Amino acid sequence: MDEMEQPSSLDSEGTYSSMARPSSAFYYRQSEPTSITEIHQIVDENHEILIEIQPMDSGFSMMDGSISDLSTIVKERNLIMLSALGGVVGVAAALKTSLKDGISGSSHDISHRQGTFGSNVFHKDAKSFLHFVQEALQDILVLVLLVCAALSIGLGIKIDGHKEGWFDGGSIIFVVFLVISVSAMASFMKNRLLVKIFEASYSSPVTVVRDGRRRQISISEVVVGDIVLLIIGDQVPADGLFVEGHSLRTDESSMTGESALAEINPGQNPFLLSGVKVAAGYAKMLVTSVGMNTTWGERMSLINSEDFDVETPLEARVNQLAISLGKVGLAVAFTIFLMLLGRYLTGHTKYEDGRIEFIASKTEAFDVIKHVVNIVAVVASILFIGVPDGLPLGITFILSYSMKRLMMNDEAIIVRNLSAFETMSSVTVLCTDMSSILTSNQIKVTKSFLGKEWIEGRSRCAVRQFLSVTATDDAIHSWAVLKLNMEMNMNTRDFSILDIDASCPEKRVGILVKNQLDKLIHAHWNGDAEIILSSCSHYQDENGNIATLDGPEREIFNQIIEDMAANSLQSIAFAHKQIPQDEYENEENDQNIPNNDLVLLGIIGLKALHQPGVKEAIATCQQAGIKIQVITSGNVSIAKAICSECGILAPNQDGSMVKGVEFSNYTDKERLDKVKNITVMPRSSPLEKLLAVRCLKEKGDVVAVTANGPNDARALAEANVGVSMGKHATAMVKESSDIVVVDENFTSIAQVLRWGRCVFSNIQKYIQFHLTVYASALVINLVAAALVGKTQLTPAQLLWVDLITEALGPVALAAEEPTTELMKERPVNRADMLITNIMCWNIIVQALYQITALIALKLKGKTMFGIREKSSDTLIFTTFVLCQVFNLFNARILKKKNVFKGILKNKMFLLITGATIIIQLAMVEVLNKFAHAGRLDWKQWGLCIGIAAFTWPVGLFTKFLPAPDICMETIFSYLPLE
Residues with catalytic annotation? Answer: 433
Query: For 871, phi and psi rounded to 5 degrees?
Result: -70, -30
Q: Phi-psi bin for 825: left (phi > 0), alpha (psi -120 to 50), beta?
A: beta
Q: What is the SS3 assignment for 305-334? A: HHHHCCCCHHHHHHHHHHHHHHHHHHHHHH
Which residues on adjacent β-strands are paired with residue 429?
Answer: 627, 703
In terms of Cα–Cα distance, which of 443, 463, 467 is closest to 453? 463
φ, ψ dihedrals at 553, nearest 5°: -65, -40
Instruction: Report the alpha-carbon distance of residue 806 to residue 390 in Å, rounded.
Output: 5
Query: In b/e form, how buried is each residue of 598-637, taking b as 16+ CB within 10 angstroms?
Result: bbbbbbbbbbbebbeebbebbebbeebebbbbbbbbbbbb
The Cα 226–Cα 711 span in angstroms is 28
Pick from 324, 391, 313: nearest CA to 976: 324
Closest residue by Cα to residue 195 from 291, 290, 125, 300: 125
- Helices 837-865 and 951-960, interaxial angle, to 10°? 140
Compute the residue count for the chain: 978
What whole-number distance in Å separates Cα of residue 26 and Cα of residue 47?
9
Backbone angles phi, psi at 445, to 5 degrees: -80, 120
Cβ atoms of residues 780 and 792 within 8 Å: yes
The SS3 call for residue 609 is strand
Query: How many CA atoms within 13 Å lie on the side-chain side of 188?
Result: 15
CA distance linking residue 390 with residue 321, whole number of Å: 12
φ, ψ (nearest 5 deg) of residue 120: -90, 65
Q: Which amino acid is at 947?
A: I
Four-residue CA torsion sign, 779, 806, 809, 175: negative
Cβ partners under 8 Å of residue 521, min gap 6: 498, 512, 513, 514, 515, 578, 579, 580, 581, 584
Whole-angstrom distance, CA of residue 854 vs CA of residue 792: 9
Q: How far apart are CA 294 and CA 237, in angstroms?
A: 10
One-letter amino acid identity for 491? N
Say whether 434 sits in a helix, a strand or coil: coil
CA dist., res. 370 & res. 366, Å (int): 6
Q: What is the dihedral of CA 964, 969, 970, 976, to 10 degrees?
A: 150
Candidates 123, 69, 414, 67; CA nearest to 296 is 123
Give the C-alpha separation, 818 to 759, whole Å: 8
Evaluate whether 876 touches 931 at the Cβ level (below 8 Å).
no
Measured between alpha carbons, how far is residue 787 from residues 347, 372, 381, 859 in Å? 14, 19, 20, 9
Secondary structure element (H or E) that encloses residue 918, with its range: helix 907-925
CA dist., res. 830 & res. 312, Å (int)? 13
